[in-house]
Homo-oligomer: A and B are copies of this chain.
Amino acid sequence: MKALVLEERGKLSLRDFPVSMQVGPNDVRIGIHTVGVCGSDVHYFTHGKIGPFVVDEPMILGHEASGYILEAGSAVTHLKAGDRVCMEPGIPDPTSRASKLGIYNVDPAVRFWATPPIQGCLIPEVVHPAAYSYKLPENVSFAEGAIIEPFAIGMQSAVRARIQPGDIAAVSGSGTIGIMVALAALAGGCAKVIVADMAQPKLDIIAAYEGIEVVNIADTKLASAVAQATDNWGADVVFECSGAASAILDLPQIVCPGGTIVLVGMPVDPVPVDIVGLQAREARVETVFRYANIYDRAINLIASGKVDLKPLISATFAFEDSIAAFERAAEQRPSDIKLQIQVAK
């Protein structure tokens, strides 16, 4: 089978690649339909590594996927051939201490698609555990199915925030993840979400959603916008999605007394935090690492129409044009939120 292979930093091929297709009793064999291009895929392409994860051997890219069941293992009961599905890209050891606790996302044994040395899913077929494959309702498209993975990070952030109905939230950073977080926060009970960035094209895209207010921080500080919107009380929840040192330092000025901060953005190095400022408001700070037990609820929200992710799909490429898709992604056009590759015809 042909796969999109990162041979080494900067070099992609669409070529035959041998992959085992052995279906265990709890596995399903899936025909891949659509795969989204993630910033991490692009980073491996342009840099050859992410932190300690180095591409030493050719690796198939892609981890945001939807598809359809070709074959179900003998012990699989909730899926059958023909079902449309989307897949969690990380496979934990289900009996590890973390998995037993329900936080399988932080199981050190997780094997995650397109994270060296694990192969990704930009290939026509994969074998995957049925337990991490989720049936798509009829009214959820393959394109939506493939964008659930990044949305799941937004959802995990919203879950960990423990939003209360009618909360006012602030989001610093309107990159793809910031947008996903804002939409999850809104769907998750916030009355209003104030999104801040300096990239106006991205702000324009998220501003089209009802309940979102945007702030261009070239003009206005997020803290000022929040103070005005909340009668100087502060935001109930602040989602930090920029990873920027200045945004992180400002957090105590944005959150309300007793409020919550969710750290989603990942600054490469340690950054200064105003601990005394956080203490003065007795803020709670949550951190987010991927997601666990999120796909069901993300699908529920898309199926019910409460969350519409379709406007975030900026362009769709044929599988043959996968390399062009990555080249465009590497351009980082300001109005591109999500590029997808359609693997199946």
State the A residues within 8 Å of B (CB).
26, 78, 94-108, 129-131, 155, 158-160, 162-168, 184, 187-189, 191-192, 210-211, 231, 233, 248-249, 257-258, 263, 266-276, 278-289, 292-293, 296-301, 303-306
B268 with A271: CB separation less than 8 A: no
Contact of A270 among B188, B249, B257, B296 (CB under 8 A): B249
Residues of B within 8 A of A301 (CB): 165-166, 191
A292 with B106: CB separation less than 8 A: no
A105 with B282: CB separation less than 8 A: yes
Known: A100-B102, A166-B296. A276 touches B285 (CB 8 A): no
A155 with B162: CB separation less than 8 A: no
B263 with A267: CB separation less than 8 A: no
A231 to chain B, nearest CB (A): 8
Known: A189-B188, A275-B266, A287-B285. A102 touches B105 (CB 8 A): no
B271 with A97: CB separation less than 8 A: no
Rounded to whole angstroms, the CA-CA distance of A158 and B94 in the bound complex is: 26
Contact of A166 among B129, B130, B192, B298 (CB under 8 A): B298
Rounded to whole angstroms, the CA-CA distance of A155 and B163 in the bound complex is: 13
Known: A166-B298, A167-B297, A300-B192. A286 touches B288 (CB 8 A): no
Contact of A98 among B231, B258, B288, B304 (CB under 8 A): B258
B159 with A155: CB separation less than 8 A: no
Residues of B within 8 A of A288 (CB): 279, 282
A251 to chain B, nearest CB (A): 11
Known: A284-B284, A300-B166. A275 touches B293 (CB 8 A): no
Residue of B nearest to A240 (CB): B275
Residues of B within 8 A of A272 (CB): 269-273
Residues of B within 8 A of A163 (CB): 165, 189
Residues of B within 8 A of A303 (CB): 191
Known: A163-B165, A279-B288. A293 touches B100 (CB 8 A): yes
Q: A78-B231, A101-B293 are in contact. List 6 more A-B contacts (CB 8 A).
A: A95-B130, A100-B293, A263-B279, A271-B272, A272-B273, A279-B289
Rounded to whole angstroms, the CA-CA distance of A78 and B160 in the bound complex is: 31
Residues of B within 8 A of A282 (CB): 103, 105-106, 160, 287-289
A104 with B97: CB separation less than 8 A: no
A207 to chain B, nearest CB (A): 14
Rounded to whole angstroms, the CA-CA distance of A104 and B257 in the bound complex is: 10
A304 with B211: CB separation less than 8 A: yes
A255 to chain B, nearest CB (A): 10
B103 with A257: CB separation less than 8 A: yes
Rounded to whole angstroms, the CA-CA distance of A228 and B193 in the bound complex is: 34
B284 with A286: CB separation less than 8 A: yes
Contact of A95 among B94, B97, B162, B210 (CB under 8 A): B94
A95 with B129: CB separation less than 8 A: yes
Residues of B within 8 A of A131 (CB): 95-96, 100
